[in-house]
Each structure stands twice: as C-alpha cells, then as structure tokens.
A and B are shown apart, each in its own frame.
Chain A
Amino acid sequence: MRIGIVCPYSWDVPGGVQFHIRDLAEHLIRLGHEVSVLAPADDETPLPPFVVSAGRAVPVPYNGSVARLNFGFLSAARVRRWLHDGDFDVIHIHEPTSPSLGLLTCWAAQGPIVATFHTSNPRSRAMIAAYPILQPALEKISARIAVSEYARRTLVEHLGGDAVVIPNGVDVDFFARAEPKQEWQGGTIGFIGRIDEPRKGLPVLMRALPKIFAECPGTRLLVAGRGDEEEAVAGLPREMRERVEFLGMVSDEDKARLLRSVDVYVAPNTGGESFGIILVEAMSAGAPVLASDLDAFAQVLDQGSAGELFANEDADALAAAAVRLLGDQDLRTGLSERGSAHVRRFDWSHVGADILAVYETVTAGAASVAADERSGLRARFGLARD
C-alpha cells in the first residue's frame, strides 16, 4: 500500500506527535508498505529517507503560544506536488485542525483521507471563526482516529461526527529489555518531563516531597528533563535538596534504563494531556506508576488497576500514595505485573494492525488519492487540465 503521512509540526523540534509519526512510518515500512512523510523542516536538516520537507515552518503566535506553522503559496504548492508525485492509496493527516500542513492537505486532496486527532484542546475562538472555512475541508476526511476516549469526546463535542479510538503506539520490548542502571536503583522516584512547564506537575511533586522524604529515609528523586534546576528546588528545605538529582535531557536509551531502574514513576501532570505516552513507556519498563487522576491518565491506567491514581494537584494525596507504594514491595510488584500485561495493547504490533485496518476500510470501494482540481476556479468553468 502507498501511504502518505502529513506531520503538521517541525521535524527538527522533538515532540510527541513527531515521534508517533516517525515510529508509525518505520513500523509500516518494516511491514513492506511504501511510506512518505510530508513535514515542515529546515532545508539543511538531515532527514530520514522517507521524509519530504515542506519548507521551513514560520513561528507565529497562535492559540496562546508561539506555534511553528506552514502556510502560504509555497507550502500549498509543495503539498500539491507531494500529492501528485506520491500517487498514494491513502493519506493520513495528523492534527487536521491546526492551521498548518494538515489543513492545507485536506484542502488540496481528494480520495481516502484518514485523520488522527491528538490534542483535546477546547474549541478556540479562532476555530469558531474559521468553522465555515474549516468544515468543507474537514468533511473530506473519510475516517477519524482519536488517540483516547477523552480526545474522542472533545472531538465529538466540538466538531460533531464520530471517531474510532486507537491509542498511540509504543515499542514495548525496547523498554522491557532495557538494562537497569545501578546508580539509579535503590529507593528512587522517577520523573520525566519539562521542569519549567507547570502543567507537567513538578511543583506538585515538590510540595509532596518533604513528607515523602521524611517518611522514607534514603529515598531519592531523579528528574529528567529541561529547565531551571535551581528554581525547581527553591521551595524545598535546604538539607533535602541534595536528594533530588537532575539528569538533564536524556537519550531514548537512558530514558528506558531510568524507567527500568526506579521504584516508583510519578506523573503529577495537572492537565492538558490527551493521552499520556510516558505512562505507557513506564508500564512497558515494568515501573510501578503513580499518576494524577486526569481522564486521559485514568484511561491509560485502566481506571487505576494498572497504576495508582491520586487526586489531581493534591500534594498530600500524592505523598500518602507514594509513601504507601515505597514501603510495600508486594504492592509494587503487583502493579508492575498488571502494568506489563495491560501495556501489550499499546504495542506497535497491535496499534499498527488497527491503523492498517482503518486504511483498508477506507480504501475498499474508493479511488486513490489525487489533487483536488475542483477547488480551483479554472475547474469550475471546466478548464482544468487532467
């Protein structure tokens, strides 16, 4: 099958959606499919052979933060050329509502289009204003995928229609087989995420920390992620600060080893999560997981049976749960075993098969993808070339 995948965000900037697309493309190529990914990228960035650059993304303030987006004639022309050269059986657009490549492709293509909705953003003002423009493009999508039941609910509320739920994939064995590192073992709590991003919840964990350290002497906290380390520990009593270790940005291998080593992985995120890939990775590595009870997290953790949940933003609840987990080896082993069994459904072998099933469902009984000539003025008067 010839598959075209559209990535809306810059390939050179690491991010959840980009990693998902990279892994999906590699998985599909291993199965013998032809895959081409269209992504914004600087012309000089080295790209994997399956990625086609759609030009540099322009930083624009959008929806409260600075987003790097692709639009304008040049990008539209590159999208058309890619569609024309690729001759795809199906195209798979990620985040079709962001004003970038996804929307341009929706506008320019016809035929079987699959779209994945990653975020569960509440409807923004821009989207309400753009709704009449967005709708004709979005109604070309033959199949919608939401990454979680939560993302599906927001999608149904804001755009109408329906979607199938297919979670993000993880290479479970990569994490399960990683070698634990001795210096990260022995009474350790793990946290991975941006330090200076309050939504990732490190401040909540920091508030809970004095209680945890007081009840469990010898416990350490390992933090992997970018941000200001001084500021992060500023609220902590001085004598406790050395029990917090900052590892900075870690490689994929080190991330897997860290998750294999820690006694408890804590995800205190306070909101804005539509899936929670890090929980899946932690479960793959067999780490007992303690997470805030966000809708998306509760679903990934099977409503608390594959990992412990605590009331969101409640530092005392977090501390109590962490102390209970750190003091009870049997509880941790049980969680780890249930997590490892539950996580199999997120492995690429399952997720990839489901995504392929969607491709096959939409391509059955439909022509292949082509550039949509009907959207041009010339076509309106019957002048379009074939």
Chain B
Amino acid sequence: MTTLIWIVAALVVIGVYLSWTAGRLDRLHSRIDAARAALDAQLLRRASVAQELGTAGVLDPAASIVLYQAAHAARQAEEEHREVAESELSQALRAVFAEVPQVEAVREAPGGEESLTELSEAVRRVPMARRFHNDAVRAARAVRKHRVVRWFRLAGHAPFPMAFEMDDEPPAVLEARTGP
C-alpha cells in the first residue's frame, strides 16, 4: 500500500513539473511571436519611410533610385530572402546618408524634418527589436534543448525558433541625431 502511495505521489510530482515546463515553453513561444511581430512592424516602418524619401524627389536621382529599389525589395521580399533584402536596405541607407550635407538637403525640403525624425527613429528601433527577438529565440532554444522537453515532446508542433540575422548598422549621421 505504501509503495502505491509513493508511486502516485512521484507521478503527481512529475506531472506538475511537466505541466510547469510546458507552461514555461508556451510563454516563451508567445514571447517570440510578440517579438517577431514587433520586429516586422519596425522593419516595415523603416522600409516605408525609406521608400517615401526615395520617391519624394528631395534626393538626387541616383540616390533616389538606390533607396527606392532597396526599400521596395525589402517590402516585397519572401520570407527566406528577407534577411538579405533588409541587410541591403541597411547598406543602401548607409550609402545614401553617408554625409551630413545629404541630411541637411532633406531637412530643408518641406516635411523633410518629420521624415528624417521618422527615419532616425526607425533605424534605431530595428536593431532594438531584433535584439529582443533573438534574445527570446535563444531563451526558447535553451529550454527546448532540455532532455525532458525532447522526450515528452512538450514543444508540440511549434517550429524550432530561428534567429533573425541581418546587418542593421544605422547610418552614423542619423545615429547622432537620436543619441548613442
């Protein structure tokens, strides 16, 4: 009889532990979803402002075409090419806003100040959102590598989380506008 009680008690403890771990994993997955949604929003925002600046005619024609092309590609990119397309947009932004006079030219145009503020905010927030996303991914991966999680398939059908890797270095000139 005592043995039976002990077995039941052990099973209950194991059950609670498994349920707690599953809850933890579930929370991590929803954190990744939220972080991914935020990253998407920031990337889209950056691409929109860049496209706006590319079509506004405040930049010289060559810069406009480079910026428009990169922003358009980033917005239309399929999931598997997204990281490359967004990195190319970062490079295009750095090339176009390599020097202070270019920024001054945009600022003097009507509505240029607002666009510049939006762009500086966007290029600052993309790396933030990406860091938060990849941090969530790392935390979820650490839990999913656990033996218990693999044996009992606690992760269910959730896909193995992937980090979002891209070049998100903002143009130095714009960075100075928003602080370090």
Contact = CB atoms under 8 A, between A and B. Distances in A.
Kindly name the residue among B35, B128, B134 whose own CB sees the greatest number of chain A CB atoms within 10 A. B128
Interface in B123-172: 124-125, 127-129, 131-132, 134-136, 138-139, 142-143
Interface string A129-145: 00000011001101110
Given A354-B178, A380-B19, A162 B34 contact: no
A180 B131 CA distance: 44
B124 A162 contact: no
A142 B34 contact: yes
A133 to B, nearest CB: 12
B33 interface: yes
A139 B139 contact: yes
Contacts of A161: 135, 138-139
B37 interface: yes
B121 to A, nearest CB: 7
B132 A143 contact: yes
Contacts, number: 87
Interface stretch (B23-31, B71-79, B85-93, B96-104): B23-31
A135 to B, nearest CB: 8
A362 B38 contact: yes
Contact of A163 (B19, B33, B131): B131
Interface stretch (A96-104, A119-127, A345-353): A345-353
Interface in A143-182: 143-144, 160-165, 167
B24 A136 contact: yes
Interface in B99-129: 121, 124-125, 127-129
Contact of B132 (A140, A345, A361): A361
A66 interface: no
B128 A164 contact: yes
B27 to A, nearest CB: 7
A364 B128 contact: no
A320 interface: no
B23 A374 contact: yes
A357 interface: yes
B131 A160 contact: no
Nearest to B179: A350
Given A160-B138, A162-B134, A139 B37 contact: no
Nearest to A163: B131
Contacts of B65: none
- The 5 nearest A-B residue pairs measured at CB: A365-B37, A350-B179, A366-B34, A139-B139, A161-B135
A300 B42 CA distance: 29
Interface residues of B, number: 34
B129 A361 contact: yes
Interface residues of A, number: 32
A358 interface: yes
A105 interface: no
Contacts of A292: none
Contacts of A374: 23, 27
A165 B131 CA distance: 11
B125 A361 contact: yes
A178 B147 CA distance: 61
A110 interface: yes
Interface in A370-386: 374, 377, 380
Nearest to A377: B16
A364 B38 contact: yes
A365 B27 CA distance: 14
A78 B31 CA distance: 26
Contacts of B41: 364-365
Contacts of B178: 350, 353-354
Contacts of A162: 131, 134-135, 138
Contacts of B132: 142-144, 164, 361-362
Contacts of B37: 364-366
A356 to B, nearest CB: 10
B131 A164 contact: yes
Contacts of A351: 179
Nearest to B180: A345
Given A162-B134, A364-B37, A365-B37, A354 B139 contact: no
A144 B27 contact: no
12 contacts: A112-B34, A142-B34, A143-B132, A161-B139, A162-B134, A164-B132, A165-B180, A357-B124, A357-B125, A361-B42, A361-B128, A374-B27
A164 B23 CA distance: 27
Nearest to B41: A364
Nearest to B23: A374
B20 A380 contact: yes
Contacts of B135: 143-144, 161-163
